[in-house]
Structure 1
Amino acid sequence: MIQRIERSIVYVAEFEGEVVGFANYSTVRDGGKVELAAIYLYPEFQGKGIGTALIQQAVKELKGIKEIYINVEKDNKIGLNFYEAKGFELVKESDLEFDGHILKQVRMVKRV
């Protein structure tokens, strides 16, 4: 876990001094590729532009960034709609076995 944190870049969203969400990115890899490992906002703060700001901040600050990749569960319609609205495009769909269950996921990319 510590190694993962050391290789991560985390942006935190605050409202009135309280943390309301975050976005967790990998460091920039060869070719300017970055992985958006997680983005989360408390439900009452969704739809207010905070998620968009967390993506925009990474694009602004991460040197050499050319592409942001993310994996989204195929059934996560809210997430898929959010990322599509932010300019992410479908790369591929795949199945991932996790603890005896098959998770259907979508790989997306945003070129910046």
Structure 2
Amino acid sequence: MFIRKASEQDLPKIKEVVNAAWYDTYLKFMYASTVTQFLETLYNDERLLKRLNDSRFLVAEEDDKIVGFINIINGKELYLAASYVDPMYQRRSIGSALLEAALTQFEEYEEAFVEVSLENKDAVRFYENRGFELLRSYDRDLYGEVVKTGLFKKRLK
């Protein structure tokens, strides 16, 4: 596996990964219309290009194929905006490698934050096993559907 900074040419493959991951994971506890609207809104070509230019994107490649990515927003705080691995490549430590690669690029930060759907037990467990702690939970409106969400924090120093 190889991790590198994403380029504009990677955006179609990033879109494939996020679509596969969202439909595989979130259809278990969200309406299909919510998942589709989320993906069409947050992962359309224009929005993805803006995110690529305004934040840090890393991709993981295996077998000459993009199999995962992580998107980090660094401003006053370090925020993990998205991290997804193709369902066919999950449970191979790709998500862990992406997270570690991302966090090592921002050593000046003392903490990192991530929001996770609390119904996504695999993601909650993933972040907790890597030192993130639940700060608070709240209901989030996602296109008319209430999603129980947790804000997690990890001390980096």
- Normalised by the size of structure 1, how large is the TM-score? 0.89
The residue number in structure 2 matching 1:38 is: 82
Unaligned runs of 5+ in 2: 1-46
Task: State the partner residue of 1:4.
Answer: 51
Aligned-pair distance for 1:61?
1.5
Matches within 5 A, 1:19-58: 19-27=66-74, 29-30=75-76, 33-58=77-102
Determine what percentage of the aligned residue pairs are the same residue: 33
Instruction: Quote the Cα distance in structure 2 between the aligned partners of 1:12 and 1:3.
Output: 16
Greater helix content: 2
SS in 1 for 2:99: helix
Q: Which runs of 5+ in 1 are unaligned?
A: none
Q: How do residues 1-112 of structure 1 correspond to structure 2 at under 5 angstroms?
A: 1=47, 2-27=49-74, 29-30=75-76, 33-112=77-156
Offset, 1:63? 4.3
Offset at residue 40 of structure 1 (A) = 0.4
Question: Could you report, residue by residue, the CA deviation over 1:82-107 in whole angstroms, capped at 9, with x for unpaired residues?
Answer: 01111110010001122222111010
Partners of 1:61 and 1:6 lie apart in 2 by 17
Residues 59-68 or 40-49, more deviating? 59-68
Per the normalisation by structure 2, the TM-score is: 0.65
Count of aligned positions:
109
Q: 2-side partners of 1:48 and 1:69: how far apart?
A: 23
Q: CA deviation at 1:67?
A: 1.3
* Structure with the higher fraction of residues in strand conformation: 1
